[in-house]
Structure 1
Amino acid sequence: MMLKKVLGTAVAGVLVASLVACGSDSDDAETAAAAPSGQNWRYAHEEFEGDVQDVFAYKFKEYVEENSDHTVQVFRFGELGESDDIMEQTQAGILQFVNQSPGFTGSLIPEAQIFFVPYLLPTDEETVVEFFNTSRAIHEMFPELYAEQGLELLSMYPEGEMVVTADEPVTRPEDFRGKNIRVMTNPLLSETYRAFGATPTPLPWGEVYGGLQTNIIQGQENPIFWIQSGGLYEVSPNLIFTGHGWFTTAMMANQEFYQGLSAEDQQLVQDATAHAYEYIINYVPGLGEDMLEKILESSDEVTVTRLNEEQIQRFRERAPQVEERFIEMTGDRGAELLEQFKADLEAVTGE
């Protein structure tokens, strides 16, 4: 598995060079020569074959190709580099679509880090789905923030509850003391683990497995399906359900490309996105438990710790300092977004 990841990253530069060489000029020439056939749209995401973002991408591709002459070429993790690389390629117009989590977009769009304020989102799957379906913050406020970076936000959706893995079971913040916990390159996520008592250690995904294996880091967080598909339980076998948040991702387009589409093709993109969203919002509930079962079948060394309400409260008491840091980072816009976020949550939880 590790060899596959290394090789995938190694050839990323070659693939990008090939895409640039086949840029817009040649695309235009090919389109003209092959009229009335459609265009080939390039779509990259951050995960492996069969993972949530991959399923979403292929549902999008399926709809586009069944309802137009266009084709969609999907690139998985490592084929075009790391998360930062595919975002840069999308902003440059090399890619037309990208799926990237706020964990990485947070350095570009600080307000997107709101998803890393611990204990803001509930862990109940049905409630989370309703929030994403109805949230004004997501459907009205976030598109404006993404547009400022040349991105057309098409969808935000949840992938699963965040679960921590570590070199030993953890039940209280004091157990994190002295542990290097890998975080995405996201300042607020670092603040979260600092508040939890750990030493946050930003690392790109390609270095996580090896870092756990060599004890450079002693833990990390991800949804269960990613822990399973990435084999992280093999080198970090203690799974801790802290209830502190959900992994969220966003699907977006290069804005110049999107705005240059005909009204018909813009509607096609919107419809394809809605098709993929409707599928994934029903696909994710229950996925975590299915993947946990696979993990437990694969390894006798794995332990599962589900914090009780008293234990969770010890972590929850540290969340306000992360919320305060979020507002410091994002100013009035972040405060307004947080207020709307809480109002949207209240609307679906009644609390």
Structure 2
Amino acid sequence: MTTKTSFLAALTAMAAFVTGISGAHAEKWRYAFEESLTEVQGVYATKFKEEIEANSDHEVLLFPYGTLGESADIMEQAQAGILQFVDQSPGFTGSLIPEAQVFFVPYLLPTDQEHLSRFYKNSKAINEDFKDLYANQGLELLNMFPEGEVAMTTKDPVTGCEDLNEVKFRVMTNPLLVESYKAFGAIPTPLPWGEVYGGLQLNIIQGQENPTFFLYSTKIYEVTDHITYAGHNNFTTAVMANKEFFDGLSPADQKVVNDAAAAAYDYIVSYQQGLAEQELDKIKKAKPEMTVTVLSEEQRSCFKDAAKDVEAKFIEMTGDSGKAILDQLKADLKATM
């Protein structure tokens, strides 16, 4: 038995002890996510916890980023049943569920937050088709929600694709995101988040992308000099339960979980209104010399041209299943305009 296997076995035993044996008794449920308690995923998780605890005898234990390892670690723990709930971006599940990479097709998602909130809540692709794909990996998809328009932060200004030429750009370990930044002209460099600040500081990488609130909360602006909005994506995250755990719940407890997820969704969408602008103002105050550029339609044209190649690559990677998901998402976006 390897050290990692022993560690997982020990955590499984501990989780069984903490959670309890019988669903008839109050249980402690473990929930890990990829951000801090004060960031968007943490705010969602806190609301989810409040709803569960207000409407049942169960308790939800929250584990912010880093407390149980990196993103790959918490997904492994969720699939093993060590965690009952996990929040993870499709950016990190792309190799596990290839179709989830669709959220990284550039310019697929709109930047309008109200449209996005309707889309994620009502999309057939998300609420039906993806549920089956996640279930095949031992996960019950509770919902997905947007975290804000993605911005690029770099050492040098970006006004078009030519400015990304030969730039080592950090991406999540997601095959399609790698293809996106190749198409944009950069050198995509997959790195776990824990290595990004130091990588920028040491010039191992020269750029990265994230929603605006995350740029401020992680102080990534300290080690980059330019923020660029190309309108190419909106950060998506997914909240899941271990499927065996979820299926073993009583109908009443399943309703408590689903209701908590729905309430947390409505709360986080409302919470994010104006958040990007507020956090951008904080960045400007903390670092007045930081430049902020919103690309014009003309400046975005090369990125949009590259997006066509990335979409074709997505279909090549995922076949008929991926194309069906992509087509359904496009129909859902049109229906929720």
Q: What band does the TM-score fall into relative to the shorter chain?
A: over 0.9
Determine whether 1:305 maps to 2:293. Answer: yes
Quote the residue 1:3 is aligned against.
none
Asked if 2 retains the 8 angstrom alpha-carbon contact of 1:45 and 1:75, the reply is: yes
Distance 2:33 2:70 in 1: 9
Q: How many residues align?
A: 334
Quote the residue 1:236 is aligned against.
224
- In the TM superposition, what is the alpha-carbon distance from 1:89 to its structure 2 partner? 0.1
Distance 2:335 2:174 in 1: 29
Asked if 1 retains the 8 angstrom alpha-carbon contact of 2:102 and 2:314, the reply is: yes
Aligned letter for 1:214?
A: L
Q: Which moved more, 1:134-143 or 1:257-266?
A: 134-143
- In the TM superposition, what is the alpha-carbon distance from 1:237 to its structure 2 partner? 2.2
Determine whether 1:168 maps to 2:156. Answer: yes
Distance 1:169 1:25 in 2: 53
Secondary structure at 1:215 match in 2: coil
Quote the residue 2:233 is aligned against.
245
261, 264, 273: which is aligned to 1:273? Answer: 261
15, 25, 32: which is aligned to 1:23? Answer: 15
Distance 2:170 2:180 in 1: 12
Aligned letter for 2:176?
A: L
| Distance of aligned partners of 1:229 and 1:126 in 2 relative to their CA distance in 1, 3 Å threshold | same
Quote the residue 1:203 is aligned against.
191
Distance 1:87 1:204 in 2: 14
- In the TM superposition, what is the alpha-carbon distance from 1:14 to its structure 2 partner? 12
| Distance of aligned partners of 1:26 and 1:193 in 2 relative to their CA distance in 1, 3 Å threshold | closer
Quote the residue 1:5 is aligned against.
none
Distance 2:6 2:281 in 1: 38
Distance 2:235 2:58 in 1: 31
Instruction: State how 1:51-130 maps to structure 2 within 5 Å.
Output: 51-130=39-118
Instruction: State how 1:253-272 maps to structure 2 within 5 Å.
Output: 253-272=241-260
Aligned letter for 2:12?
A: V
- In the TM superposition, what is the alpha-carbon distance from 1:314 to its structure 2 partner? 2.0
Distance 1:252 1:26 in 2: 20
Quote the residue 1:336 is aligned against.
324
Distance 2:67 2:225 in 1: 28
Distance 1:14 1:50 in 2: 32
- In the TM superposition, what is the alpha-carbon distance from 1:256 to its structure 2 partner? 0.2
Structure 1, unaligned stretches of length 5 or more?
Answer: 1-11
109, 116, 134: which is aligned to 1:146? Answer: 134
Asked if 1 retains the 8 angstrom alpha-carbon contact of 2:90 and 2:101, the reply is: yes
Aligned letter for 2:16?
A: S
Distance 2:101 2:12 in 1: 31
Distance 1:231 1:64 in 2: 32
Distance 1:257 1:63 in 2: 19
Structure 2, unaligned stretches of length 5 or more?
Answer: none
Deviations 1:256-286 (A, max 9, x none): 0000001110011001111101101111221
Aligned letter for 1:133?
A: K
Quote the residue 1:4 is aligned against.
none
| Distance of aligned partners of 1:238 and 1:15 in 2 relative to their CA distance in 1, 3 Å threshold | farther
Deviations 1:139-191 (A, max 9, x none): 11110110000000001000000000000110010110010000000000000
Aligned letter for 1:71?
A: E
Asked if 2 retains the 8 angstrom alpha-carbon contact of 1:160 and 1:223, the reply is: yes
Q: Which moved more, 1:285-294 or 1:251-260?
A: 285-294
Distance 1:39 1:109 in 2: 30
Deviations 1:16-75 (A, max 9, x none): 78743423256436x69xxx7510000000001210000010101001111111000000
Asked if 2 retains the 8 angstrom alpha-carbon contact of 1:16 and 1:80, the reply is: no
Distance 1:208 1:15 in 2: 26
Q: Which moved more, 1:158-167 or 1:126-135?
A: 126-135
Aligned letter for 2:34?
A: E
Quote the residue 1:134 is aligned against.
122
Asked if 2 retains the 8 angstrom alpha-carbon contact of 1:159 and 1:247, the reply is: yes
Distance 1:135 1:188 in 2: 22
